[in-house]
Amino acid sequence: MEVLASGRGEFRMPDLDAFRAHVREHKERRLVSKVMTEQEAVSRFVSDGDYLSYDQNVAVRGPGSLFREIIRQRKKDLWVAAKFSWTDVSLLVAGGCVSKVDVGWMETGPVINKALREGRIKFIEWSNGALTYRHLAGALGVPFLPMRYLAGTDTFEESGAKLIKDPYTGQTLCLVPALNPDVAVIHAHQCDVYGNTRVFGAGVAPVEIAMAAKKLIISTEEIIENEAIRRQPQRTTIPYYFVDAVVVAPFGGYPGSVPGLYGADIEHWLEFAGSQFQGKTDEYLEKWVFSVASHEEMLEQRVGAKKLLQLRKAETVREGYYE
């Protein structure tokens, strides 16, 4: 296959056989409970230097509680996929967790600009679609996929994509390498103890991310019976054998919303934004992450029952998710 051009962006070389070997060696085939605390899940399955993917983002059905635990455990040198993200990257950079970011879209601000100036983070350019598609390649167990965009742009030049001559038609085509994250964290509506997971709603790419990842942590609003899963198998989005850990986390998407359950805490966002512009993200992290031992403690001591009830009330739609 003739390569016509290559972007200069860094990427991890896909290694399909290493992935298969990892699955053979480490993935649990039996129906066993994988329920564990967030502390155990993050400590066992997130390592310094890992590539981390997640779904959806801090604003909608995101793994808010797992992000905070990753920061609390002071994980370092992560490489993250910022596909369709919001302040996710700013939060993890403020927490000192990230050294590389594959960019689809992210909210930028003082934290990111400062880290970039000081050389603490490096960006590689893709797009929301390209990153999501790279996870699809990873999920299909193939080393790359062809597509018809990125070409002709500086984004291509700063990505790890290649232009090739299609060996069938002779047309110019763009290839992107598969992305198999070391670890993925996904927040779900429901899950059984084995990891059979239900994500409701339009959700970017939870299935692709789950399948592409070597290690997978699911945090869930609630645990449901395996019997309930089996009565409506079509509602299952991720089957159990992909899942390494199940963390029970009601309001785990906080401060983001989980469609069908609760709205986003706008005041919390403004507090984070304010802390960025005043150079006080350390105080923000101390209050919301380091001074509490767990997600549960944060909900009790920092958010409070009154606010949680308000957020539940703010979500007026259940149709399509639970009905």
- Work out how close the CB of 269 gets to other proteins at its nearest, in angstroms, rounded to a whole number: 7
Q: State the nearest-atom distance from the C-beta of 296 to other proteins, in Å.
A: 23
Torsion of CA 162, 163, 166, 172, to 10 degrees: 160
Residue of 255, 282, 275 lying closest to 266 (CA atoms)? 255
Q: How far is the CB of 163 from other proteins (least distance, A)?
A: 6
First to last CA, the chain: 50
Cβ atoms 244, 33 nearer than 8 A? no
C-beta closer to other proteins: residue 189 or 215: 189
C-beta of 315: minimal distance to other proteins in Å?
6
Which residue's CB is nearer to other proteins, number 129 or number 296?
129
CB under 8 A, 24+ apart: contacts of 113-117: none
Applying CB under 8 A, the residues found at the interface with other proteins are 56, 59-61, 82-84, 103-108, 112-113, 116-117, 123, 125, 127-130, 132-133, 136, 147-155, 158, 163, 171-174, 201-208, 256-257, 259-260, 263-264, 266, 269, 314-317, 319-321
Nearer to other proteins, 132 or 219 (CB): 132
With beta carbons less than 8 A apart as the criterion, state whether 75 and 42 touch. Answer: yes
313, 38, 320: which is closest to 203 by C-alpha?
Answer: 320
State which residue, 147 or 303, has the beta carbon closest to other proteins: 147
Distances in whole angstroms, Cα of residue 183 to Cα of each of 23, 236, 238, 262, 269: 13, 21, 15, 27, 26
Would you say 19 or 269 has its CB closer to other proteins? 269
Give 42 or 199: the residue with its C-beta nearer to other proteins.
199
**At closest approach, how far in Å is the CB of 293 from other proteins?**
28
Shortest Å distance, C-beta 36 to other proteins? 28
Provide the residue count of the chain: 323
Distance CA 36, CA 168 (A): 50
